[in-house]
Amino acid sequence: MKLTKKSTIHIVLCLLLSLFCAIADETSELETQKKLLTEYKITPTEAGIIKHLEEISPTEDFMNNIDALIKQLGESFRKRKVAQKKLIALGSLVEAKIRESSKSDDPEIKFRCQKILESISSNDSDHTLYTCLEFLKRVKAKQAVSAILNAAPLYASSYLKAAADTTLITLVQDSDLKTLEKALKHKELSIRSLAVNAYGKCVGAKNSEKLYPYLKAKKPEMRLAAAKAIANLGDRKALAAFIELMGDENLDIRSKSAQFLRQFTNQYFNYSAYDNKKNRDGALVLWNVWQEEKSPTAKFHFPLKAYSGNYLNGNTLIAMNGAIELDRKKKEIFRYTHPSCWTAEKLANGNYLIGSHNTKKLIEVTPKKKIVWEYPMYAMSAHQLPNGNILIATHGSKSVLEIRKKDKKIVWQYDCNVQTYQAYRLANGNTLVSGHGFIRILTPKKKVIWEYTNGQYFYGIQPLPNGNIMVSDNTGGIVYELNRKKDRIWEYKVTSISVFKLRNGNVLIGKSNGIIEVTPKKEVIWNFGTSYGTAKR
């Protein structure tokens, strides 16, 4: 088709307008971050943030002292009490270490660390760190790599670790190679494991063998980080490492390894990290056969993406006749009206995915409230997957759909034959679905491998990292945490429509007249008045 002079000018003007809007959005976001940093008494410059990170980063002596206190948790009663009190007082500065030790083989240390986690909350410090990392990334800081690495022990949450990794990958230059090599020899595991992906970017795909020694590291966390870095370079050497780590004793290591391997290969073999050892081993046999017979000619997908990232950074997102984002002081920082809205999710790019059960329109809107994507569907829930597709629990058509975003084609579908409420894609490739009278886990081939039917209106569910499921049972007037043996290990009596467990153990519950936050001890510590809203943080 031949373009006229008039149409060419029109296209150029549209492109210039789009560029101007993008620059305006970027500038607006940067100004917001500057304001937040100023509120936290941090100078909003590269030098100011580096100074802040250096001031709060724990020294080697500090970390050694923390290790000693954690060890003391397993000793005499008096020493346990003293150590526990000291660790609680240190709060978020030690959360990452405490979270790691809460998986200890020593039952006393494990129990004490879990109690400490119930007593500390690092939402504010997490938000400060996240803003620092995002600011450094936006201004393309030149001297921040060392400071980001040294603060690694403070990155307790998964989204902070992902933010630090992304920022490092964005900022790292060839001149940082010596800094990264030094970090890879550091005594602190969190610093070593954070450095390896950035080191991979520096050495490049042609030198990926320089990462191979880290696949033999003693700590599985380091081996996993190395395998991910190698996969990001498109090197098939990562395959054997991921498969080996899927046999690890640690559930988190198994789950992440399966997640990364799935992304890298687009293969499944019905492996479940939370399954019993016999079934896991059976799936690993299939993986090893595939590696030997099929992988030499297989197509790999890289770089790997973060899975189910939460980009709210401690804010609360409520779906109630639209999307409302609140900061910690309940100040409204975003609102978009969408009638009968039941689902809202903040995406990695800062946009919002908003759906309605009564309006046939699932939309993605920018912070400036511009619709940039839409799909004609009644949605009870909608989540963006690591591959960019959208997983929708539909209202009316009684099904779960996976939609390819770029062309809106249905690439996977499960028909429930009853009203469908929620759907989540699990890290192992299976899908968790709730509908009228059931909660199910399905394989990619739609085989039901787990089902729970003790209830009717399962409006809200949430898969947890430990394999359990949070359930909002509207009919029974109760919210509970359900394990895979179908035992309720925690419950709270309330008529609810949504549930979302926070990483500090508290639970956000959506009721007909508002949102509440409940502690594990069932104390209401936060509320927000609304009508029929769902919430996440």
- Predicted pLDDT at 21: 47
Distance CA 129, CA 119 (A): 20
- The answer to whether the beta carbons of residues 263 and 304 sit under 8 Å apart is yes
Distance CA 22, CA 441 (A): 40
The 10s digit of each residue's pLDDT in 438-480 is 999 998 889 999 999 999 999 999 998 778 899 999 988 999 9
Which residues partner with 439 through β-bridges? 434, 452
Distance CA 195, CA 214 (A): 11
Q: What is the mean pLDDT of residues 56-81?
A: 89
Q: What is the 3-state secondary structure (H, E, C) of 334-389?
A: EEEECCCEEEEEECCCCCEEEEECCCCCEEEECCCCCEEEEECCCEEEEEECCCCC
H-helix or E-strand spanning residue 252: helix 251-265
Q: Which two tokens stand for residue 220?
A: 């599985």
CATH topology of domain 316-536: Neuraminidase (2.120.10)
Other beta carbons within 10 Å of 232: 21
- The answer to whether the beta carbons of residues 435 and 474 sit under 8 Å apart is no
- Predicted pLDDT at 16: 56
Distance CA 134, CA 478 (A): 39
- Predicted pLDDT at 29: 67
The 10s digit of each residue's pLDDT in 317-374 is 999 889 999 987 788 989 999 988 989 999 877 799 999 988 899 999 998 999 999 9
Asked whether the predicted pLDDT for residue 282 surpasses 50, the reply is: yes
Other beta carbons within 10 Å of 406: 9
Confidence label for 313 from pLDDT (cuts 50, 70 and 90): low
User: HSE of 325 in the Cβ direction (CA atoms, 13 Å)?
Assistant: 19
Residue range(s) occupied by CATH 2.120.10.30 in the chain: 316-536
- The answer to whether the beta carbons of residues 206 and 235 sit under 8 Å apart is no
H-helix or E-strand spanning residue 253: helix 251-265
